[in-house]
Structure 1
Amino acid sequence: MLDYDFSSLAIKGKASRGNLVTKNVIQRISLKSKGISTIEGKDIWYDTDIQRLNDEEHGLYLGKFEDGDKVLAVFRNGTFYTTSFDLVNRYQGDVLFVEKFDPNKTYTALYFDGASKSFYVKRFSFIVSDNTPICFISDHPKSYLVELSSDRHPQYEVIWALEDKPAEAVDAEEWIAKKGIAAKGKKCSSRNDVKSVRFIEPLVKEDDNEIPSEDDETPQSSSAEEPEAIIEDSEEETYEEPTLF
């Protein structure tokens, strides 16, 4: 049996005779796998009913994928993983969302830390995990994800235990800097009488109306070669490494 990769063939004119695959007698030829066009890419959708990818326009459109692009799957238990965009992939469990992976995209998570019994906030980007589930909140058994936002300027509300005390709105960008995914984050408030937290209407800032010049504009990339710079702050808690499941 002989495998032949047609992507290794140079593109020639239609008058070209082509390449000789083998001098041996051929009994049968079959397609082993179908490659992806390096020119146009491949449009991919996610069907939430069967939790599978497809190229037949069923469900949520994820985007145009090229060789090396990844799919990000995030779950309500505070875990995530990335996969290829192979149509055989299935995303089982309590899925929060599935989308095209972008290493530069910033997310803000609100979660309850079971160890300290406090609400935390963290800002980070997801990383490539190659089908390995990773927890992006603390790994205490009583920890749980409250909400996850991809808003540009997220804002959350702190509800206090005392009912007569008005809720407080917090600018997440001002409260905590973006860090690596292994960071624990920062308490949602310096006070301890927090009853609950939730995202509210995101803020609109002056830079939202700015039109970037050609020199400043950088296209989004699905490659993890040049992720957005991450600010490290030694004052806030971090994990030594992500929790693997």
Structure 2
Amino acid sequence: MSDILRHNTDRTVNLLKLELEIRKAELEEEWHFSSLEKIFIEKRIYRDIEECETWEAVITAIDNGLKPYKKLFRREITLDDITRLTEIKIKRISKYDSSRADEHIRGLETDLEEVTNHLANIIPYAINYFRQIRKKHGKGRERRTEIRSFETIEATKVVANNAKLYVNRQEGFIGTGLKKDEYVCDCSDIDDIIVIRKDGTYLITKVEEKQFVGKDVIHAQVFLRNDARTIYNVVYQDGREGPCYVKRCAITGLTRDKEYNLGKGTAGTKILYLSANPNGEAEVIRVYHKPRARLKKVTFDFDFGELAIKGRGSMGNILTRNAVHKITLKEKGLSTLGGRKLWFDDAVMRLNADGRGKFLGEFASDEVLLVVTRGGWYRTSGTDLSSHFEDDILLLEKYRESKIFSAVYWDEEQQFYYVKRFAFEETERLQCFISDSEGSRLVSLTEVEYPRFEIKFGGKNEGRRQEIIEVAEFIGVKSFRAKGKRLTNYSVAGIRELEPVVRSEAAPAPREPEEDTVDKSPQAHMPDDPAQMKLDL
């Protein structure tokens, strides 16, 4: 590190020296021509060219007029200098101010002296340069970004969805440039996509602006390689007259642009029903037979949950040997894969199933997350790995409808502290559970059963003894919309959460009727102990 700093410092010194030398050359050039112009006008040398008839005679006359003064200049007078003098307009000559020109030349000489001094003392000049950088770009310009992690990040997991995918199912084209066709989903330009056709063939390919993938596309979606939780439920007819098979399988690692088959590869095979389930859901379908003589069962139901998940190459089980008219969805199902373990990586503010970050628990398909922010807002969120979260997260955990929270907050409008006990309600919309007046803030949020808070008084009540509030006895459980109960009428210097009292028998707290409600809605470190969360007053 010291070698890098030394190299960078030496490089900076050399750059500063080069800048000073360039500045010195510019000042000397400006001084030279200003002095030349002053002598040319004040000594009326321009009058010597009035009788000249050729360009050479003009140049010679000016040069002869400047000869007595050449020793005053710091460099030789060149032909270019004399040519510039001939370009001075009569209007400038007539309005020339000698005293103003002298003042300008003295300023140039002062600047030259300063630059020469800096060059002679380049190291002190460089030190002062660094000090000025800190002074000029320090206060008020603090770093606003945060380096959270230097770990290797897989590009496909963090790349932004900067394109939209479209498909023309009949003609078999897919890509980001088919804006007049059917919209599929958002994607990035480095994603893979899976395409399944009516005849049971499928392939994986890169996202392109437009490409042909085969006619009669029935499914197209961004493909997540090695995703064993996305289960495809399929019903297909083997050949033109063959029986109908049913299967459940995951499609994981494949060779790009190589065609595979969901059926047995028989000519005339067609997909009768297909669903892609991100968490292994198993629905119930209703199968309608084509009517024919002596057919007793025209319709029947089939539950995919009764079918085992097998490899993508398996042929599946026979669903029916009779001709099928149509298949419809009767009932959506739940996941048959069991819970999925999830972690939250605060380096990228994303969920993952790879064990990175804080462990959140095992989630079934119908379970959701509770997201609480430090600003006093909350919402519930699904467990999709692509979900986005707020930057000021205070609490992120599995949502439990019956869990009771206790919150202390400052109401800016009323100028008092309030306490409330409540359970969060399931909602995807961001909701505020404290006062929505500007300046209100959340002081403490805890989920312990019997929380205790110590109030330290201040201001004109500074001498008052500290008071301990037993929250479970102080206020009953209400809605999250309720205002709560005023903590005290006295001036407060600080509120501190104490160790909760452990009670052997916990009777359920009765719900009180709601008080004033505040219906509001838009808009971290997560604490190590999920039961106690603190905010600075």
Q: Tell me, yes or no, whether TM beats 0.5.
A: yes
Match of 2:278 among 29, 34, 40: 34
Deviation readout 1:159-185 (Å, 9 max, x if unpaired): 112333231111000000010111010
Q: Kindly state the Cα deviation for residue 201 of structure 1 after the two structures are TM-superposed.
A: 1.1
Instruction: State the structure with more CA Rg.
Output: 2
Distance (Å, rounded) in 2 between the aligned partners of 1:137 and 1:8: 49
- Paired residue for 1:159? 456
Q: Which structure dedicates a bigger proportion of its chain to helix?
A: 2
Is the partner of 1:147 in helix, strand or coil?
Answer: strand
Bigger shift: residues 132-141 or 192-201: 192-201
Amino acid across the alignment from 2:479: G
Do the aligned partners of residues 69 and 8 (structure 1) sit closer, same or farther apart at CA in structure 2, a change above 3 Å counting?
Answer: farther
Q: TM-score, normalised by structure 1?
A: 0.77
Distance (Å, rounded) in 1 between the aligned partners of 2:410 and 2:486: 9
Distance (Å, rounded) in 1 between the aligned partners of 2:233 and 2:453: 50
Q: Kindly state the Cα deviation for residue 73 of structure 1 after the two structures are TM-superposed.
A: 0.8
**Structure 2 unaligned blocks of 5 or more:** 1-216, 221-230, 236-243, 248-261, 281-334, 523-537
Deviation readout 1:125-155 (Å, 9 max, x if unpaired): 111111x111000100021100100111101
Q: Are the counterparts in 1 of residues 377 and 431 from structure 2 also a CA contact under 8 Å? A: yes
Match of 2:245 among 3, 7, 18: 18
Alignment pair present for 1:233 and 2:513: yes
Is the partner of 1:18 in helix, strand or coil?
Answer: strand
Match of 1:97 among 387, 390, 395: 395
Distance (Å, rounded) in 1 between the aligned partners of 2:464 and 2:353: 52
> Cα RMSD over matched residues?
3.2
Distance (Å, rounded) in 2 between the aligned partners of 1:24 and 1:35: 31
Do the aligned partners of residues 125 and 26 (structure 1) sit closer, same or farther apart at CA in structure 2, a change above 3 Å counting?
Answer: same
- Paired residue for 2:500? 202
Distance (Å, rounded) in 2 between the aligned partners of 1:230 and 1:69: 26
Distance (Å, rounded) in 2 between the aligned partners of 1:153 and 1:8: 52
Match of 1:45 among 332, 335, 343: 343
Deviation readout 1:91-123 (Å, 9 max, x if unpaired): 122111211111111100000001110000010
Match of 1:75 among 366, 369, 373: 373
Amino acid across the alignment from 2:520: T
Aligned residues: 214
Distance (Å, rounded) in 2 between the aligned partners of 1:3 and 1:133: 34
- Paired residue for 2:354? 56
Amino acid across the alignment from 2:361: G
Is the partner of 1:57 in helix, strand or coil?
Answer: coil
Distance (Å, rounded) in 1 between the aligned partners of 2:439 and 2:469: 25
Distance (Å, rounded) in 1 between the aligned partners of 2:346 and 2:493: 33
Is the partner of 1:128 in helix, strand or coil?
Answer: coil
Q: Kindly state the Cα deviation for residue 39 of structure 1 after the two structures are TM-superposed.
A: 4.5
Q: Kindly state the Cα deviation for residue 6 of structure 1 after the two structures are TM-superposed.
A: 4.2
Match of 1:169 among 468, 493, 497: 468
Distance (Å, rounded) in 2 between the aligned partners of 1:125 and 1:24: 57
Q: Kindly state the Cα deviation for residue 31 of structure 1 after the two structures are TM-superposed.
A: 9.2
- Paired residue for 1:181? 480
Q: Are the counterparts in 2 of residues 38 and 66 from structure 1 also a CA contact under 8 Å? A: no
- Paired residue for 2:443? 146
Distance (Å, rounded) in 2 between the aligned partners of 1:33 and 1:2: 15
- Paired residue for 2:298? none
- Paired residue for 1:215? none
Amino acid across the alignment from 1:44: L
Is the partner of 2:427 in helix, strand or coil?
Answer: coil
Do the aligned partners of residues 177 and 229 (structure 1) sit closer, same or farther apart at CA in structure 2, a change above 3 Å counting?
Answer: closer
Amino acid across the alignment from 1:125: A
Q: Are the counterparts in 2 of residues 109 and 121 from structure 1 also a CA contact under 8 Å? A: yes
Q: TM-score, normalised by structure 2?
A: 0.37
Q: Kindly state the Cα deviation for residue 242 of structure 1 after the two structures are TM-superposed.
A: 2.8
Do the aligned partners of residues 19 and 142 (structure 1) sit closer, same or farther apart at CA in structure 2, a change above 3 Å counting?
Answer: same
Q: Kindly state the Cα deviation for residue 3 of structure 1 after the two structures are TM-superposed.
A: 4.8
**Structure 1 unaligned blocks of 5 or more:** 10-16, 211-227
Alignment pair present for 1:115 and 2:331: no
Distance (Å, rounded) in 2 between the aligned partners of 1:67 and 1:203: 36
Which of structures 1 and 2 has the larger relative contact order (alpha carbons within 8 angstroms, sep 6+)? 1
Is the partner of 2:424 in helix, strand or coil?
Answer: coil
